[in-house]
Amino acid sequence: MLFFSHHTPIGIVTIFEDNGYIIKIDLKKYPHDSNYKKTNVISQCCNELDLYFSGQLTNFTVPIKLKGTKFQILVWQDLQNINYGQLKTYKDIAISIGNSKAYRAVGNACNKNPIPIIIPCHRAVGTNNLTGYAYGADIKKILLNIEINKEIP
């Protein structure tokens, strides 16, 4: 597994690659070691993130590989169907994956999302509010502000 840290408007993110697939994006910096390398796939991911943050990219094409439970993967796949600038409630996602009462579990799966931004868990919200975000509500608001192009309270 290789990784590289990249500067973004929300801070440094570290992108992890395994055999040509992005497997994780972590919103913190890791120390350099022998696995610190900017590969072609990581470069593509950095470029796409830069375009996303500048408002020029609405769909990511970098190859990703999901690792998680069957339920988590169902949720993460459904999240990828939420269009840029749109929101979907945890309950809507639960219904969409065929388990209408699992909205709390959907929230937990969102919290464990290994590839934030590309898998847009920031577009998942509670019924009456934005709810939390694994990397903090402020970052969720920044991401939504980029996409919706207005200030999110």
CA dist list (Å): 97 to 26, 106, 129: 26, 10, 22
Positions marked active-site: 121
pLDDT tens-digit series, residues 109-144: 999 999 999 999 999 998 887 777 888 889 999 999
Q: How far apart are CA 29 and CA 34, in angstroms?
A: 15
For range 40-53, the mean pLDDT = 97
16, β-bridge pairs: 3, 24
| pTM of full prediction above 0.85 | yes
Q: How far apart are CA 52 and CA 128, in angstroms?
A: 27
pLDDT band at 152 (very low <50, low <70, confident <90, very high): low
**CATH numbers and ranges of domains, the chain:** 2-54 (no CATH), 70-148 (1.10.10.10)
pLDDT, position 30: 79
